[in-house]
Every structure is written in C-alpha cells, then in structure tokens.
Structure 1
Amino acid sequence: MPNYIKKKKTDKPKKRQASQSTLVKKLDKVFSQYIRLRDSDANGYCRCISCNRVHYWKDIQNGHYMSRRYLSTRFDEMNCNAQCVACNIFNQGNIQMYRQNLIKKIGEKNVDYLEYKAKGTIKRYSIFELQELIKYYSVLVKKLSEEKGIRI
C-alpha cells in the first residue's frame, strides 16, 4: 500500500462545522444573557420594559420589540430589553407598553428605525459572523457578570 493512502494513527478526525441553526441557538443564549445582565442593577435585578415589574435576571427574558423572526433586528441591542415572562409570552409581548417605554428609552426616531429595519431589510448571517458574535457577546457577558458580581 502506498504511503499517501495510509492514515497516520495520530490523525484526528476533522470536526464538523456547527450548523447555522446550532450557532443561532448558541448566539440566542449568550445574547439573551447579555441583554438581561446589561439591564440588571448591581444586585442582578431587572425591570420589565413593558410592565415595570422587577425580577431577578435569571427569571426574566430577553424581549424583542420587533419579533425574532426578523433576523435584521434579532440581535440588535436597541431592539432587545429585559421583559418578564408574563408580558413576553402570556401577553404576546405587551407590545403597546413595550413601544411606549422603548420610545422613552431610545427615542421615537430609533423605534421607527427598528420598525423599518425589521421589515425593510433582509439579513442573512454567515457561519463566520455567527461565530464572531458568539465570541463577542461571551466576552461581554463575562465582563458584566464580573463587574456586577453576578454568578452565571
């Protein structure tokens, strides 16, 4: 048998590259942690953007003003805020109060921009972009958790 056909015993099998859907799930998780930590106080408590109730950062969700189905705003930090489960899930996002409070937070022009961006642009993330965003938000999560003394 020729040498070029023989496999070395030290050759490791190549790792399969993670699929796009797997990477989006990983990014969703770390991005959600980032948003909830960003919106939390020094003790780890967040105020729901819609109803203003206070919850511990692990008991609150990353609520999207424009639905997650719009990839162009899915990972936009202006589009995402801490939101309680009651508002986000059971009250379909409590969108009227979300919008009012988002205008107070980022201004009406930015809210209008998010609405346009979500419905007026199409975004497709490459594998590389998703991997880089995961790295970026992982670093931010670690930094925020250390700054606020919150265990993840």
Structure 2
Amino acid sequence: MLPFNPKPRPCKVCRNGFVPSKPLQAVCGLKCAVKKVKQDKAEDRAQIRTRKEAIKKLPELKAEAQTAFNAFIRERDKHQPCICCGLPLGAGALGGSFDCGHYRSVGSAAHLRYDERNAHAQRKQCNRWGAGRAVDYRMGLIERIGLAAVEALEADSQVRKFTADELREIRDTYRAKTKELKKTSKEATL
C-alpha cells in the first residue's frame, strides 16, 4: 500500500490523466519526463538570457549597437566601391575585408555614430592606415548623398546621450535590417 492517497491528475506535458506513484510526480511516464526536463532547461536558459540582458551596462549596449550598425553598413555597401578612393572594397586586402568608416568620427561626433548618412563602407587601408582620408571621404560622400546632406552632417553638433532602451532598439533594428539585406541579396543571386 502506498504511504499517501494518490488521486488522478493530469500530466504536465501530455495532459493525459494518470495516477502518481510518488507524491511529487508531475508526469505520466519516462517520455513525458524527458520532455519536461527539456522544457525546463529551455525556460531556464530564456530566464538567464532575460536577466543577463537586464543587467547590461551602457558601454556594453553601446558596443553591441555599434557592432550591429557597422555590420549593416558593410552589408549595405558591399557592392559599392570605397567611399574614399573608389577602388573595389576587397582591393589589396586578403579576403576582401573592409570597414564601416564614419565621416565624422565616433570620437568627435558620438551623436552621429548610428547615422546612416555618416557611415559608409571603406577599405581598411583608407580607414585605419590612411587616417580616414577625410578630404577624399567628403568628396565621395558628396557624390553619394549630396552637398546639402554633407553640410547638414558637418553642422550637426547637438550632443545626444543614448539610453539603454534606445541602444537596445538600435541594436535590434540594425540586426533585423542586416538579416533582411542578407536575405534579399541571397534571393537575388538565386
């Protein structure tokens, strides 16, 4: 005889009724127990991910947003020439590597760091070792977005502080935009 009075209850996984053989038994059998453990692990991982996201500090969020933005710019401009020198982006570099170069640098105009008009694909030779090549960049930028837009970028000196929620939104938006660009470029090649 069992030391407790078992009453029929529904299984937590399949919802079929069963009579438990142990006081804390929540599932009807081994298959449901395995499924329950997998569900619990997935829920735990989701909770951990949510908690980790909630405790991220501004510098970490800023870095994630910048990474997502830069990836979008590189994907957007990958078929265009370098904004500075006009050479193909992969010219002179192993593996065709290139950067997301900013016309007004992130250090001098942090409020424009996520502005699509201010960032374009740039060969690493021009961006890193050519000190950004500001004069050539400006000439290429005028060709792409026009003189009025370039002058508006140069005149914009409004200081802007990004909140954690804004940085998360920027990060998620540019991740989605990059994914969409990759999807459309993949469909175009098929």
TM-score (norm: length of structure 2): 0.65
Aligned length: 134
Give the equivalent residue in structure 2 for 1:144: 181
1:67 and 2:101 aligned: no
Give the equivalent residue in structure 2 for 1:54: 88
The structure with the largest alpha-carbon Rg is: 2
2:124 to 74, 85, 91: 85
Q: Provide the rounded CA distance (Å) in 2 between the counterparts of 1:131 and 1:109.
A: 31
Q: Provide the rounded CA distance (Å) in 1 between the counterparts of 2:180 and 2:127.
A: 27
Give the equivalent residue in structure 2 for 1:127: 164
Q: CA separation of 1:58/1:77 partners in 2, compared to 1, >3 Å: closer, same or farther?
A: farther
- The CA deviation at 1:52 is 1.1
- The CA deviation at 1:131 is 0.3
| Amino acid in structure 1 at the alignment position of 2:82 | C
Identity %, equivalent residues? 29
8 Å Cα contact 2:78/2:89 also seen in 1: no
Q: Deviations over 1:55-76 (max 9, x none)?
A: 3596110000001121211110
SS of the residue aligned with 1:98?
A: helix
Q: Provide the rounded CA distance (Å) in 1 between the counterparts of 2:170 and 2:150.
A: 23
Give the equivalent residue in structure 1 for 2:69: 31
- The CA deviation at 1:129 is 0.1
TM-score (norm: length of structure 1): 0.81
8 Å Cα contact 2:103/2:134 also seen in 1: yes
- The CA deviation at 1:40 is 2.1
Give the equivalent residue in structure 2 for 1:116: 155
| Runs of at least 5 residues in structure 1 that lack an aligned partner in the other structure | 1-10
SS of the residue aligned with 2:89?
A: strand
